C-alpha cells in the first residue's frame, strides 16, 4: 500500500513540475517557438501568459491605456495588419528555423536608448528596472527591419514587442541569402 501511495505521489509531483515548466519559456528562442505554436493554433488564452502585460502610458503613441498584451494579440489575430505588432507566421517560423542565432542580449547602446528617460520602453517601470539591474535578461532580434524585444519576467521570457514580421519571408530571405553568397565570392567580404 505504501509503495502505491509513493508511486502516486511521485507521478503527481512529476506531472505538476512538468505543468509548471510549461508555464514559462526558459529561453528567448523557446518563447518564440511557444508563441508561434499557440498563435498558429489560435490558442489565444494560453498565449496571453507569454505576452508582456505592461500598460502603455506614453501619450505620443496613441495607444495610451492599452496593454502590450492587447496590442500583440490584436496583431496576431488580425493578420492583415502591418507595422508595429503585426504578425506573420511564416516570418516567425523562418526566424525560429533559420535566424535564431540573431537573437542576442540587447547591446548596451540600444538598451540605454530604449530605457532612458520616460519614452519608449522606459514607460514600463518593471522593464526599466530589469534593464538597469539585469540587462542580461533582455534579448532582441533585429534583422531585415524586423525588431523583437523579449524580457525575462517572473523566471520566464515574455514577448514585449515586435514589428515588421511581414517584412521577412522565405522569398526575400532566399533572395538576400543568394545575394550575400555572391557578394562574398566576388568581393571576398561578407556582412
Residues paired with 55 in a beta bridge: 67
Q: What is the pLDDT of residues 2-35, one digit of tens each?
A: 555 545 444 544 444 334 345 789 999 999 999 9
For the whole model, what pTM was predicted?
A: 0.77
Q: Are 158 and 140 within 8 A, CB to CB? A: no
Q: Are 59 and 34 within 8 A, CB to CB? A: no
How far apart (Å, rounded) are the C-alpha atoms in residues 161 and 140? 10
* pLDDT in 10s for each residue of the chain, 191 residues: 555 554 544 454 444 433 434 578 999 999 999 999 999 999 999 999 999 999 888 765 667 778 999 999 999 998 766 678 889 999 999 999 999 999 999 999 999 999 987 768 988 999 999 999 999 999 999 998 899 999 999 899 999 999 988 888 777 654 344 344 333 333 333 33
Distances 28 to 12, 98, 153 between C-alpha atoms, Å = 29, 15, 12
How far apart (Å, rounded) are the C-alpha atoms in residues 25 and 157? 5
Nearest to 118 by CA among 63, 60, 51: 60
Amino acid at each position: 500500500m505504501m509503495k502505491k501511495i509513493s508511486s502516486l505521489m511521485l507521478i503527481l509531483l512529476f506531472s505538476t513540475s512538468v505543468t509548471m515548466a510549461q508555464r514559462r519559456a526558459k529561453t528567448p528562442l523557446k518563447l518564440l517557438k511557444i508563441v508561434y505554436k499557440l498563435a498558429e493554433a489560435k490558442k489565444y488564452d494560453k498565449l496571453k501568459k507569454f505576452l508582456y502585460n505592461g500598460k502603455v502610458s506614453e501619450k505620443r503613441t496613441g495607444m495610451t491605456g492599452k496593454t502590450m498584451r492587447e496590442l500583440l494579440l490584436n496583431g496576431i489575430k488580425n493578420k492583415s495588419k502591418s507595422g508595429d505588432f503585426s504578425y506573420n507566421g511564416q516570418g516567425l517560423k523562418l526566424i525560429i528555423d533559420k535566424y535564431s542565432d540573431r537573437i542576442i542580449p540587447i547591446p548596451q547602446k540600444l538598451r540605454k536608448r530604449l530605457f532612458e528617460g520616460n519614452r519608449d520602453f522606459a514607460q514600463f517601470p518593471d522593464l526599466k528596472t530589469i534593464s538597469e539591474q539585469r540587462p542580461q535578461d533582455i534579448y532582441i532580434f533585429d534583422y531585415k527591419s524586423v525588431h523583437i524585444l523579449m524580457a525575462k519576467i517572473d523566471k520566464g521570457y515574455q514577448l514585449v514587442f515586435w514589428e515588421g514580421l511581414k517584412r521577412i519571408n522565405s522569398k526575400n530571405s532566399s533572395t538576400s541569402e543568394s545575394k550575400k553568397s555572391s557578394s562574398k565570392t566576388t568581393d571576398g567580404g561578407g556582412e
